[in-house]
Each structure stands twice: as structure tokens, then as C-alpha cells.
Structure 1
Amino acid sequence: MFEAPAPATVDRMLAAQRHAADQFGLRATGRRVWGYRSRTLSSAAGPHWLRVVCAEAGTEGGTLWNGPSTSRTLPASVPRPDLFRIQDWTTERYAYRAELYALAPDPMVSPRPVLDEDPGLPETWWKEMLAALDALADVLPPADRETVREEYLLRVIPEFTGHPVDDVTWSTAHGDLHYGKVTRGPHILDWEGWGRAPYGYDAATLYVYALLAPEAAARIRTELAPVLDRPEAHTGPLTVCAQVLQAQDRVDFYAELSGPVREHLAHL
């Protein structure tokens, strides 16, 4: 997903991955998938998927660290690979967590978060995704699981979109539902950031991240209309647009999206 880090970090994370694989009696194989700022390293391990998370010793824990483990409580109607085992260990400088998942049986929708062309997903895929989003929205998350904080959106939406923030309807969201984290099953991956967010936040992410492919975006907007056309979904898209514009100088694909996002905001 992201580029490999500096060689010293690569060596350290690969050593951690080997240690995790040994603990599970497996061997990591296949393509390495690096996470944001190289805090995670994932790859296939036999019939499983092995994900290793790293933090500086003493800073582990919290929302992102515990997201996957707490997501085990989500209903089965939210399709995701099973998380079988978790193994924690600490060195002098770093804390690590290894998570062993079922290997998703189908490929990713896109090799990167945004769409460059129509992925050709069938109508049944969108119906299943909408059902999953509805089931997730009905979940009452733990009090400490906040994907988007109210103080944040009250600040960034007016600053970066020029729109006021009306009454916000809150629900539960995956929190990072882009095309590099959903398969053609569909199965939804990487639950570290799930929690409370404005209603429609996930659906808005899928729509906004398709704006580089206008024909695909138009179709996706139609498929997601049961969520996005609801009055309470107004804040979700504004939040996603504000996040894109706020981070366009430090996230490459946000920079690509910034022009289409401004055009989208101009038509709201």
C-alpha cells in the first residue's frame, strides 16, 4: 500500500515478522504490504494473513492498537476475515503485536486507495456493501472508539470546505473504507480505526475516493444513494472532503483528489 521504509526499519520489521511467524508455526511469504509510516507490515503466511504492528515501547495500546481485537465483537453481517490469534512482545525500544487472520479469498478492488477507472463491481456487490454499512451503523461502539472527533470536524469543515456544520448524526464506521481495504467479495479489511463517526462517513469515502474516475463516481453515487441521500448524511461527505484538502500537501493521493473534491464542493 505504501512504499518500503528506510533499510534499518525494513530489517527491524522483517525480523519482527519472522519472530511472529515462528510463534504461529508459519512462514511469511508473498508480497510485503507496508502500512502508513511503516508502523505495520503484512503478508500471506500459508493459508493465513499475518499482520505485525509496531509502536515505541510504552506507547502501545489505545484506539489504533486495539481496533482489530475489539472488532471481533462486530456482527457477522459485517463481512471481514476472521482474526484467529494475537501475540504481543516488547523489546527495549519497541512494542509489537502480531495478528493472524484468515486469508481473504478474493482480490482487492484496487491496488491503491483511490480508483483510476471503473472496477466493474456488480450490483450484488453494492447491495452487500450497503447491508454491511447498515449493520455497522447500528453498532454501539465502546466510548473510547472515536473515528472522527466532534471538535475536529467543527474546525476543519468550515475551514476547508466553507460549509457550516449543522446538527451531526453519529453512527459507527470502519473509518478508512477505501478501495485498497475492500475485496471483491466483498470483505472489509483493517479495522484498527473503527468507531464513532458522522453518519454516511464510510459511504462518502467510497464516493469521494472514486472522483478521479468520473463515470465510476457517478455510478457509485447512485449505488450509495440509500445512504448518501438521507438528510443525516450531509456531514459525512463534508468531513471526507475536508480531510482530503487538509492533508493534500502530505498525502499523494489526496493531492490527486483535491481538484475533483473542490469541484464537488462547488456543486453542493
Structure 2
Amino acid sequence: MRRAFTRSAETLGVTIAGPEFWGWHGRTLSSRTEHPGRGACWLRLLSAPQDKGAGKIWEGNRHAAAVFDGRVHKPLLHDITQSNSDGYAYRAELHEYVTERVCSPSPVLRAALAPPTSWWESLRADLDHVHAAPTDRVAVRQEWVDRTVPRFLDIPGPRITDWATAHGDLHTANLTTTTPYLLDWEGFGLAPVGYDVAMLLAYSLLTPAFAHRVRDNFPVLKTEPGRIAQIIVITELLQSASRGDHPELVPVLRLLATELS
């Protein structure tokens, strides 16, 4: 990954100018860089086995840039390069550098967070735009719901009747503290109405005050589509926890599932 990162930086004409940041399970490597014309940029390298270097996640940020750059608060995508080496495919994306800190170092919010009203207003406006955007990408499939909800919650998978385009991975590690900017768009696509804010809520359940603000600012969570979205997100995070990700969320997720069932 480091060799591929260095090669990608050379190809894109940037100089590495910051510490390295590793993504989920070492699948991505990122750093601040300097470009002679654009100044500070963010270089993100995505890796996959060579036969899997394609598809929804692989193309997500490029497709999101075409739909949302300049329309919502997200880092602009400047350039892309792709290479293969040692049986792996690498995709390097050069993004606008955002100076604001993220709200949380982890998707699971553990520390108190109290954004101002303007932060919530900006997030609502951006999500309204996202949810109204047309796309043929799919983030959640009914077949997965039918198969997986009974396995983890012992209830039938709910039927999704209301769909909207979603960011697909909305949590406080993908939101910045001031504007907020929405980061990491690789998973965007069609999902149940309320999916994004259900995800934000689920990852925030260990901090009740922030979770309360999520519920207050997004009334969709109190509707039937919002209830369905929460059940689906809970199932996703329980499945993820079964593989070792954020097991500390399991008790509060199951408590919320009981309240919604």
C-alpha cells in the first residue's frame, strides 16, 4: 500500500505532506499532500484484489462527484489514477483538502458533541438535496433485508416502500465540526427513506444527548418509513458487530430494536 501510495502521488504530481491515515481494515491509505497548482489536497488510495477492483464502492466517489460536487458540502474530487501491482488493484483519488476536524475519530460517537443550530440546518439542507438526487446506484437491497433481518432480530424483514438516494455511511467520523462537510461517499445509492439519519442515530446511541438531537432534527425517524430504516440499520450494525466491528454497540442496538418492533 505504501509503495502504491508513493507511486500514485508521483503520477498525480503531488508531494506527501502529512501523516498517514489508514481506513477500515487497512483497505484505504490517505494523507495530506501538496499540489503545485491546487495547494493542499487529500490523497486517498483504495485497494482491492485485482479481480475485485470494480463495482459500486470502487466507483462511488467518482459517481458522487459527478452528482454532488458544488451542490452540497463535500470535498471536490480533483483527479483519479488507477494501477495494478502484485495481484492488487489500486485507485488513487485526489480530493480537496478540508481543514475542519471530523466530529469523531470513530464511527461510534463516544464523547459529548453539541453542534450549533446552524450545523444541523446545513446538514438537513444537504441531506434534502442528496435524497432528491436521481441515481441508479443501490445501497440497500430488499433481498438482503429479507434474508438478514430475521437472522439478527428474529422478526420478518420489513418491506421497503419508500426509497431515496442516501449518502450511505453517515456518522460523525464522516462529518466535520463546523460546516459540516460530508465525507466518504463511496457507498452512496438508493436506500430506505430515513436511512442516513437512522445510521447517524445508531452510531450515536452511546451519547444520549446527541442521539436526542438527531431525533429532534429529523422527524422522519418517528414515521413508519423511519422505523423501517432504523430496523435495517440496526441489522447492518449487528451483522458488522458479529464480524468484530464495534461490539460495544450491540446492547443499545438491541434495546432500540425492541422499542421499534
For residue 254 of structure 2, the aligned residue among 251, 258, 262 is: 262
Name the SS of the counterpart of 1:54 in structure 2. Answer: strand
Paired residues for 1:56-205 under 5 Å: 56-75=49-68, 76-142=70-136, 145-164=137-156, 165-184=158-177, 185-205=179-199
Q: TM-score, normalised by structure 1?
A: 0.88
The answer to whether the Cα contact below 8 Å between 1:113 and 1:180 also exists between their aligned partners in 2 is yes
Q: Distance in 2 between matches of 1:49 and 1:189?
A: 12
Q: Structure 2 vs 1, CA of residues 251 and 168 (structure 1 numbering), >3 Å: closer, same or farther?
A: farther
Q: Distance in 1 between matches of 2:48 and 2:159?
A: 37
| Structure 1 residue 91, shift from structure 2 partner | 2.3
| Structure 1 residue 163, shift from structure 2 partner | 4.1
The answer to whether the Cα contact below 8 Å between 2:142 and 2:159 also exists between their aligned partners in 1 is no
The answer to whether the Cα contact below 8 Å between 2:160 and 2:192 also exists between their aligned partners in 1 is no
Aligned length: 252
Counterpart of 1:29 in structure 2 is: 17
| Structure 1 residue 217, shift from structure 2 partner | 1.4
Name the SS of the counterpart of 2:215 in structure 1. Answer: helix
Please say if 1:54 is aligned against 2:47.
yes
Name the SS of the counterpart of 2:112 in structure 1. Answer: coil
The answer to whether the Cα contact below 8 Å between 1:174 and 1:191 also exists between their aligned partners in 2 is yes
Please say if 1:237 is aligned against 2:230.
yes
Identity of aligned residues (%): 36
Root-mean-square deviation (CA, aligned residues, Å) is: 1.6
Unpaired runs of 5+ residues, structure 2, are 35-39
Counterpart of 2:37 in structure 1 is: none
Detail structure 1 runs of 4+ shifted over 6 Å in the superposition: none
Q: Structure 2 vs 1, CA of residues 166 and 61 (structure 1 numbering), >3 Å: closer, same or farther?
A: closer
Question: Bigger CA drift: 131-140 or 20-29?
Answer: 20-29
The answer to whether the Cα contact below 8 Å between 1:17 and 1:28 also exists between their aligned partners in 2 is no
Counterpart of 1:250 in structure 2 is: 243
Unpaired runs of 5+ residues, structure 1, are 1-12
Q: TM-score, normalised by structure 2?
A: 0.91
Please say if 1:38 is aligned against 2:31.
no
Name the SS of the counterpart of 2:89 in structure 1. Answer: strand
